[in-house]
Amino acid sequence: MKTIVRTKDLLDNFNLELVAGEEGIHREITTSDISRPGIEMTGYFDYYPKERLQLIGRTEMTYFLGLSLEQQADRMAKLCTDITPGIVITRGMAIPQVMIDAANNSGVPILHSPRKTTRVISRLTNYLEVKFAPFTAIHGVLVDIYGVGVLITGQSGVGKSETALELVKRGHRLVADDSVEIRQEDYDTLIGNSPPLIEHLLEIRGLGIINVMTLFGAGAVRSHKKISLIINLENWDSKKQYDRLGLDEEKMKIMDVELPVVTIPVRPGRNLAVIIEVASMNFRLKRMGVNAAEEFSERLTNMIVQEKGQE
């Protein structure tokens, strides 16, 4: 599903004032890149990225005001193309009439901001990058456990939602059940959230739909969370060899990001909520440089070496 962002969305979400070019507020923004048309102010338009949002700060404005009126009109006519989504002018600077006239004639919105240029670029870029981030949806449950975003996956009916309910009862926070919407907000960052239709809801077979926030309070849910660990639940297979030390590290790739995966076999009598809690704490320990499996392997190696030396 393609995300459509229009110039009007910037007006609705930021402290911006529409000064000119009202006809163009519904123009589509197609990229998160923002251009500062410094070299274009000199008259060089060979590589002008006209599809980007244009941002004029103090440097560009000072140079522009030093041009003749004919040059100013020429530069603005070339800046305001039929696909340019808008021009943002920062620092609350006065806007010359030649800019306003060019924007009105071409239908390119001029947006006025009182903020510093670097602040405006940062906030607009972050907003647009989130909007244009790669997107997918995965069947599973996302829970915030001790600050670790844990995505619980597995076949339908294996017990994902029931485990999530037990985790919520133990003080952890539900992000999404059944369907997890995932955006790649950076080259190594995945953010998960719930579709609006089922936000804060859990489906428990035999009970039906329950509202976690209503039952357990606002502290039992959160709207989104960075995904750090995947727990895959699968029915116990007596013929399969499961990792008993924790030395083998599986990975799962979602879009461009590889995440560690822990496979937990499910059978009666196993407390999955406690096991997942411990897996999350163990993951945090590994990130802090403490790896119990590697320590055990090292102790075992040292013991073997010592015994061989005594022979």
Q: What is the CATH number of the domain that holds 35?
A: 3.40.1390.20
Residue 61: pLDDT band (50, 70, 90) is very high
- 21 sits in the region (left: phi over 0; alpha: psi -120 to 50; else beta) called left
- Residue-level pLDDT at 212: 96
Q: Say how far apart CA 265 and CA 242 lie, in whole Å.
A: 8
Lowest-pLDDT range, 37-46, 129-138, 212-221? 129-138
Q: What is the CATH number of the domain that holds 205?
A: 3.40.50.300
Q: Say how far apart CA 311 and CA 309 lie, in whole Å.
A: 6
Residue 301 pLDDT > 90, yes or no?
Answer: no
Residue 295 pLDDT > 70, yes or no?
Answer: yes
- Residue-level pLDDT at 185: 84
Q: In Å, what is the CA distance from 186 to each residue of 70, 108, 129, 134, 226? A: 44, 30, 9, 9, 11
Q: Say how far apart CA 270 and CA 301 lie, in whole Å.
A: 31
77 and 168 co-located in one domain: no
Q: Residue 301 domain-assigned?
A: no
116 and 171 co-located in one domain: no
Q: Residue 308 domain-assigned?
A: no
Domain of 252 in residue numbering reads as: 135-290
Element of type H or E holding 276: helix 272-287
What are the pLDDT digits (tens) for 259-280?
999 999 888 878 899 999 999 9
- Residue-level pLDDT at 53: 97
| Catalytically active residues, by annotation | 139, 160, 178, 244
Percent of the chain's residues with pLDDT above 70: 95
At which of 82, 110, 131 does a domain end? 131
Q: Residue 220 domain-assigned?
A: yes
Whether the Cβ atoms of residue 178 and residue 198 lie closer than 8 Å to each other: yes
- Residue-level pLDDT at 302: 78
Residue 304: pLDDT band (50, 70, 90) is confident
13 and 147 co-located in one domain: no
pTM recorded for the entire structure:
0.74
97 and 144 co-located in one domain: no
Residue 291 pLDDT > 90, yes or no?
Answer: no
What are the pLDDT digits (tens) for 65-114?
999 999 999 999 999 999 999 999 999 999 999 999 999 999 999 999 99
Q: Residue 303 domain-assigned?
A: no
40 and 140 co-located in one domain: no
126 and 12 co-located in one domain: yes
What are the pLDDT digits (tens) for 229-260?
999 999 887 777 766 666 677 899 999 899 99
Residue 51 pLDDT > 90, yes or no?
Answer: yes
Q: What mean pLDDT is reported for the chain?
A: 91
153 and 72 co-located in one domain: no
Mean pLDDT within 50-79: 96
At which of 131, 158, 192 does a domain end? 131
Residue 307 pLDDT > 90, yes or no?
Answer: no
- Residue-level pLDDT at 1: 55
195 and 114 co-located in one domain: no
Q: Are strands 179-186 and 135-139 parallel, antiparallel or unpaired?
A: antiparallel
- Residue-level pLDDT at 232: 94
170 and 260 co-located in one domain: yes
- Residue-level pLDDT at 130: 86
235 and 266 co-located in one domain: yes
Percent of the chain's residues with pLDDT above 90: 74
- Residue-level pLDDT at 174: 97
